[in-house]
Structure 1
Amino acid sequence: MAVEGGGIIIKKVSVIIPIYNTKEFLPECLNSVINQTYPNLEILLINDGSDKPCRKVIMEYAKKDDRISVIHSTERKGVGAARNAGMDTATGDYVYFLDSDDYLPLTTIQLLTESIGQYSMLSGSVKKITFKVEADLPERTHKVLENRNKDRLFRNNSVLNRLISLHFIHSHNLRFNEEVECYSDISFLIPAMIYLDRCPYLTDCLYYKRVRNDPITNPALSQLERDKKVGDFLRIYNDMKDCYGNHAAASNFLDQQFLNYYRRSIIMLLADRKQVEQTFNKASISAKKVNPRSMKKLNILVKAEVDQLKKERKAIFSGLIKLHHFLYNAAGAIRSKRKIFLILYRSLFIRLPLKEKTVVFESFLGKNYSDSPKYIYEEMLKSKKGYKFVWIFNEKRKIPGNARQVKRFSLAYYYYLATSKYWVSNSRLPMHLDKRPGNIYLQTWHGTPLKRLVFDMNDVYSANPDYKKHFYKQSRRWDYLIAANQYSSEIFRSAFKYEKEMLEFGYPRNDILHDADREEKAQQVKLQLGLPLDKKVILYAPTWRDDDYYQSGKYKFQLRLDLEEMKQRLGDEYVILLRMHYFIADNIDTAGAEGFAYNFSKHNDIAELYLISDLLITDYSSVFFDYANLQRPILFYTYDLEKYRDTLRGFYIDMEKEVPGPLLRDSSEVISSIENIDIVKKQYKENYGRFYDKYCSWENGNATQRVIERVFK
């Protein structure tokens, strides 16, 4: 306790924070604690065998605030042991548990401490977040609700955002299980439930629980593999039933937890037939401890399954599980034609003979006929080696050759992906596709990276919080990956965790930029597009912003160029072509700039637009790496450079030093640079030369042929 000047007793709160290799999250977590409005804190950092970078952050904070004490363990013992060590050391009146990848609004501990009164425990809300939110909240009315149902309050199996009397903890010897990684909280909460007379809840008192976006490199406990979590849950359930099975309320609570967990997690684990063998005996031991009265509200199939677990009838249980998943999939299929196709894909198509000389192509999720897949296909057409070709499109296209065109997610789509030996794509194929033995997947990718990618990003501010997890699973299917330069090759290894063969040949899509007759081709493209032959062409090709979206997969873009002013000052000499990233869903408004601005965002092949352009305006899009092959001027319209670099993605290179053109902040600067383009070319001549040598030296016009010779044997 502490006594303020007015004689008011300020009770001490011991904040216990177990830490294991959370360097990237720790500053946000610890700042949210040391800046709490409640001052009388004892902050116990339990270093659970963290690596050197994480230990460094811990010690830096320990030096900043004398309220911080550190307990070091040289080996990882688990969150249960770490929390127990914190409780054994704590000297406060209350204990508050915080995970080191989470953080708090700045008033959370004060609200709990001021409201707890004579209660032994007071709980608030835990809010899961997938992106950063502000830790301070507007003023709200907070109320203590005394009639909270114990089962409802504890069914999340978590001690987080609960202020707990240390005297209460020691009086009842409350401990965390140290034998499991997951669900160790249950061993603390069950006796707490028994001994608590009242379980009050404080409204609008928040705790931010981070859902980590990288469950591959350093997963949170909740992101461990399902079989590990199921094993730990069953062990805890058995231990608690053995200890507290005679206490009616606790026993009933545990049974409901088991049955809910069985339906939510164990059944899903058993979709893998191998897991039935591995899990049956452990699940049977637990099922025998479930009181039959707790099973009355179960549906008939789940009840039958639990009964067979109780009776140790593995064969019957296995059959029921198979039926359960069949009915589950059938119910989904009734609601969705695509799910019917997927069932056929997995149960029938993938068992058909593999077509050894059939190649499936897709570019940008079926949106167009373009990029490296296009050029590989057209070169293979010339070879006449007996291959059959399938192209995946969202809508039918006019393309050369006699390739079969199939609609994305149609029945034919699943049939050909299941039976074709070769897949060629420049983006990720869907998660639900199962790559079969003998299938060869060539991933061409779609650019040299400027922006940090996947596992080189700490946080992902995008529409899909499972981005890294999904990317990892999808990229395990790649057999070959194309890199345009040494720089890309090294980044792909780290950012994609890619360990298979890298084709270091340059991009097939860039071969056209080195053709001897590229000027003649450019004239043909201009005629096809209806562009004036007597004017120079500006190409504007910006990227998309990860954080600016309507919903998953639907991104926004706000055009920041003043097209009307550009037309007025440049229209006698130039026209401008707008080519937006394929993720961007908006229709770009060119009103007021007719005859000057042309929206070619849906033009299939951006390489053709490169050929006809006299200069490029871009920002953080990888297009400038490709365009540099032409050695024509590039302007960088980077009006949001700091935000994009420091918040959203981060860059692999220093744009302010390395890019082959000026960084411009507003539309007027862009226009002035175009008016003085000869001066800009002279200013950046040396930079351009260095840039070309580093990023374009592999590109010599023969990448397509080299890829085909390596992959299609």
Structure 2
Amino acid sequence: MPRFSIIVPVFKVQGFLRECLDSVLGQSYADFEVIAVDDRSPDGCGAILDEYADRDPRVRVLHLSENVGLGPARNAGLERAGGDYVLFLDSDDAYTPGLLAAVAARLEAADDPDMLVFDHVRTHWWGRGGRSESAGLLAAAGTETFGIRENPEYLRLFLVAWNKAYKRSFFLEHKLQYAPGLYEDAPVTYRSMVLADRIACLDRIGVEYRQRRQGAITKTPGRRHFDIFPQYEGLFAFLEERPDLSWARPLLFERALDHMLFVLAREDRVTPSDRSAFYREIRSFHRRRLPDGFTPPDGWRGTEMRLLATAPYPSYAMARGLRDLRRTAGSGKRRVAGAVSARAQHAWYTAQSKRALDPHLAVYSATHLRGMSGDPAAIHAKSRELAPHIRGVWVVREDAVDMLPPGTDHVMFGSRRYHEVMARATYWVNNVNWPGTLAKRPGSVHIHTHLGTPLKYMGADLLTKPGARHGFDVPQMLRRADRWDYSLVANRHSELAWDRAFPCRFTSLRTGSPRNDVLVNAGPEDGEAVRARLGIPPGHTVVLYAPTRRDYRRGGHVDRVDLARFAADLSPGHTLVVRLHPSLAAGTARGMGLADLHARGVLIDATDEPHVEDVMLASDVLVTDYSALMFDYANLDRPIVIHADDWGAYAASRGAYFDITAEAPGHVSCSYRELAWLFASGTWQDEESARLREEFRERFCEFDDGRAAERVVRTLMLGERMPETVVTADAVPSPATGSPGVAVKA
């Protein structure tokens, strides 16, 4: 029999689940079992749990046949628990190192009390917070055990299941069960605390309580928050059956009213339209359950409790409004002015959106309004083929108009027609966020394609990298991402990364990357046509060099390779093509010799080529550092060389989701000498390169089957059934078009 049974109910937390499980399995104290309850999670949680169970015999997985909710899922895990003590852990939270050892030691020193309570720290999506308000109570408890009748102040400890270790025999003796619905912690916590003869405290932070930006049930407004009333009704029905606990009724009555009034005041829980009804329910509970001799506490909360006895909702709302007004007036004019400005901006766009949505209108934008490219361009082209009744309009900057193909319907950003089109469009397709001034209208469909598979940190993950997020307002970025309906992914790595980086309410679709359809479906003639247009001599082996920007250097550009030397060191019959990151196109790199080298015929500068897919098709091998281009290029099954001479500095400044030097798509060079040797020796295209590339393709190109754009259009615009993806490994990639010595998978 293990000392601890740790019950982890799991539902839609695939982006956080590994961190949660690792925090448990990595504990120094190992005498425990983990009972993970898959509450029929619709994402990849079930597979992750099975993976951990296969690796560690302490993990047991219970897959429920239907979604039952947090409380019943805990009950299901409890039925299979065999430990002396039971702990509950929410699957998006994590244990701090050494917690279980500290709990075991405290329980032994206290001679196995009925329950033990420990502290937590809130980990907000923007950073870590401080200790809980319970810290003082935990410290004051010292090493003694106590009961609530003598120490009622401990009813104010944080009202959750996961900050406690319960003796399993105590839990079973009193038939403690979690009820369905929200606020299921309240009746179990309060029942157990008033029933326990001996409670111990541990003055230690044990749980990192993740405050998810979105996704938490208790922070989702709606009628479900009325569940609090049957939860407390169940608690007080239990108290009526126990005359020996009559002393606890006034104490728990105050805690119940405090909890209900707290929920009423939260805008992220009770909607304005429901507040009057919610208040009436509180008054009804107050009338039915008021104990004899109950005295409200001091302060505003006590005032609210007194109002419950006499004041209807309008009177209560007026009293609270006057109090809030006084507090707002004291917060300074700047906050008031900001609120007024925000309301005026919202009213302006609302006025533009009075007209009905046009079901046959789609707007497209790519790479910060720079023209027609990437995934949006591929979706637009397929829409013209499969859904010609849907008119596509591109939003571009004034200086990008000339780069659009002739006849492209477009609007310039900020123009009058731009506002008219954005107000009425049903479909919005972009690979970056739309401006924050645009509101999402009901019925519109926002499709976010991203800018490729992420290696470097993105979105909320940048909060830990202050240098990388310089100039980025991460909260504003996430508010804009709240408008996404669908997030397109080419692999499961991206799905998990976007879940973490953008904690918003979108649906992830495993469509593949539409821009990569041309790579998967291309034939040799496609590459030849591009080579001829770029002026590459027939038969040459084309080496594409595509570096990314650096966040640790102002301007983003760092010369990692002497391009003239590299071009010269390549053997005859090779052409070096350079493609800079779009953010570097107008920067210092172009003025530091690249344009001159291009003019002198030393290399070809393809930075201004409108479609990077064309450049990839024209090449035989990619040399890059940390550019997301590598994930797209892998679809061609042509050699890739990673030049990672500053990986440590890059990863430290920007952050990375995995170590590209350890999981590379080909050989890795850490100096120019190594890079030159790879090409001089021919190692860049050897069997090891092919093996690494195959593993990389299986992981990162798994949903790219050449039908991604079709899948998006049919599913999201035409409402048809989503065609299944084909495993990329079964597809035959486009062969390289240069030297016959290049390793190509048939």
> TM-score band, normalised by the shorter chain?
0.5 to 0.7
Q: Cα deviations across residues 324-372 of structure 1 (Å, max 9, x unaligned)?
A: 99x99x9988416873366226743332244678653321344776435
Instruction: Find the counterpart in structure 1 of residue 431 from structure 2.
Output: 426
Instruction: Find the counterpart in structure 2 of residue 208 from structure 1.
Output: 207
Shift of the 257–438 alpha-carbon distance from structure 1 to 2, 3 Å rule, reads closer
Shift of the 122–316 alpha-carbon distance from structure 1 to 2, 3 Å rule, reads closer
What is the 5 A alignment of 1:677-696? 680=685
| Distance in 1 between residues matched to 2:520 and 2:588, nearest whole Å | 27
TM-score (norm 1): 0.58
- What amino acid maps onto 1:406 in structure 2? F
Whether 2:561 is the aligned partner of 1:563: answer: yes
Q: Cα deviations across residues 510-554 of structure 1 (Å, max 9, x unaligned)?
A: 99994986456536xx9xxxxxxxx9986443579xxx989xxx9
Instruction: Find the counterpart in structure 2 of residue 15 from structure 1.
Output: 4
| Distance in 2 between residues matched to 1:500 and 1:63, nearest whole Å | 32
CA contact (8 A) 2:428 2:446 kept: yes
| Distance in 2 between residues matched to 1:663 and 1:437, nearest whole Å | 49
CA contact (8 A) 1:475 1:498 kept: no
RMSD, aligned CA: 7.3
CA contact (8 A) 1:176 1:187 kept: no
Instruction: Find the counterpart in structure 2 of residue 8 from structure 1.
Output: none
SS at the partner of 1:179? coil
By how many angstroms is 1:673 displaced?
2.9
Instruction: Report how many residues are paired.
Output: 618
CA contact (8 A) 1:126 1:209 kept: yes
Q: Cα deviations across residues 192-213 of structure 1 (Å, max 9, x unaligned)?
A: 665789988644x221336398
Instruction: Find the counterpart in structure 1 of residue 469 from structure 2.
Output: none
Shift of the 678–110 alpha-carbon distance from structure 1 to 2, 3 Å rule, reads closer
By how many angstroms is 1:81 displaced?
8.3
Instruction: Find the counterpart in structure 1 of residue 723 from structure 2.
Output: none
By how many angstroms is 1:128 displaced?
4.2
Q: Cα deviations across residues 584-611 of structure 1 (Å, max 9, x unaligned)?
A: 99x9999998867999989976457658
Which of 389, 393, 411 is the equivalent residue of 1:404?
411
| Distance in 2 between residues matched to 1:636 and 1:117, nearest whole Å | 59
Whether 2:229 is the aligned partner of 1:234: answer: yes
Shift of the 256–505 alpha-carbon distance from structure 1 to 2, 3 Å rule, reads closer
What is the 5 A alignment of 1:543-562? 562=560
Shift of the 598–434 alpha-carbon distance from structure 1 to 2, 3 Å rule, reads same
| Distance in 1 between residues matched to 2:451 and 2:231, nearest whole Å | 48
| Distance in 1 between residues matched to 2:141 and 2:222, nearest whole Å | 37
Which of 113, 136, 140 is the equivalent residue of 1:146?
140
By how many angstroms is 1:145 displaced?
2.5
Which of 91, 95, 114 is the equivalent residue of 1:103?
95
By how many angstroms is 1:670 displaced?
2.0
Long gaps (5+) in structure 1: 1-11, 134-141, 455-459, 527-534
| Distance in 1 between residues matched to 2:390 and 2:25, nearest whole Å | 65
Shift of the 95–284 alpha-carbon distance from structure 1 to 2, 3 Å rule, reads same
| Distance in 1 between residues matched to 2:57 and 2:520, nearest whole Å | 54
Deviates most, 616-625 or 498-507: 498-507
| Distance in 2 between residues matched to 1:490 and 1:118, nearest whole Å | 44
What is the 5 A alignment of 1:69-84? 79=71, 82=74
Q: Cα deviations across residues 1-51 of structure 1 (Å, max 9, x unaligned)?
A: xxxxxxxxxxx9953422445885675355245x32xx8x6x465576878
Shift of the 115–549 alpha-carbon distance from structure 1 to 2, 3 Å rule, reads farther
- What amino acid maps onto 2:629 in structure 1? V
| Distance in 1 between residues matched to 2:224 and 2:554, nearest whole Å | 36
| Distance in 2 between residues matched to 1:155 and 1:314, nearest whole Å | 33
Shift of the 331–88 alpha-carbon distance from structure 1 to 2, 3 Å rule, reads farther
| Distance in 1 between residues matched to 2:569 and 2:608, nearest whole Å | 26
Instruction: Find the counterpart in structure 1 of residue 534 from structure 2.
Output: 522
Percent identity between the aligned chains?
A: 14
What is the 5 A alignment of 1:227-626? 227=222, 230-240=225-235, 243=239, 247-264=249-266, 267-271=267-271, 273=273, 282=281, 285-286=284-285, 293=296, 297=300, 334-335=337-338, 339-340=342-343, 343-344=346-347, 347-354=350-357, 360-366=363-369, 370-373=373-376, 389=393, 391=395, 397=400, 399-400=402-403, 403-406=410-413, 416-427=421-432, 429=434, 435-436=440-441, 439=444, 446-447=451-452, 463=463, 474-476=483-485, 514=526, 518-519=530-531, 521-522=533-534, 539-541=544-546, 562-564=560-562, 567-568=564-565, 570=567, 577=578, 579-580=580-581, 606=612, 616-618=622-624, 621-624=627-630
By how many angstroms is 1:258 displaced?
1.9
By how many angstroms is 1:186 displaced?
2.1
By how many angstroms is 1:567 displaced?
5.0
By how many angstroms is 1:157 displaced?
0.5
Long gaps (5+) in structure 2: 12-16, 41-45, 128-135, 143-150, 240-245, 465-473, 500-505, 598-602, 719-746
- What amino acid maps onto 2:268 in structure 1? M
| Distance in 1 between residues matched to 2:265 and 2:674, nearest whole Å | 61
| Distance in 1 between residues matched to 2:48 and 2:686, nearest whole Å | 46
| Distance in 1 between residues matched to 2:691 and 2:61, nearest whole Å | 53
| Distance in 2 between residues matched to 1:53 and 1:233, nearest whole Å | 33
CA contact (8 A) 2:116 2:166 kept: yes
| Distance in 1 between residues matched to 2:208 and 2:486, nearest whole Å | 32
